[in-house]
Amino acid sequence: EKTFRAIYHKKPFLLLGQKHSLRELRNRGFKTFNPILAEEYDDLEGDLRFLILLKQAININNFSKKHLNHIIDECKNTVDYNYNHMLKYIKSEIDLLSNSGD
């Protein structure tokens, strides 16, 4: 739900979830932010996964406003794509559920 909130508001995101959560998003047709935001953590297990993601979040938090705006600009095409894809994806899921009783 929080990932889709970021997608809806057209914001880049880091995803703390199960191993290969980003891979699953890509399998569903969404784009992620590699290489703009490092995503190696998606392949890691347990505490190491959390620590690498936390380190990346701290690094992003320490970016200058100018650098952060640059990162956001670099992600614009991806966040726009994900927003539009999410709208189609939700509609197709609703259609699938609506037709499952036929």
pLDDT tier at 95, thresholds 50, 70, 90: confident
Average pLDDT in the chain: 91
With 80 as the cut, is the pLDDT of residue 101 above it?
no
Query: What distance in Å separates the CA atoms of residue 64 and residue 68, rounded to the nearest whole number?
Result: 6
CA 22, CA 43: separation in Å to the nearest integer?
A: 9
The predicted structure's pLDDT at residue 99: 78
Cis amide bond preceding 12, omega within 30: no
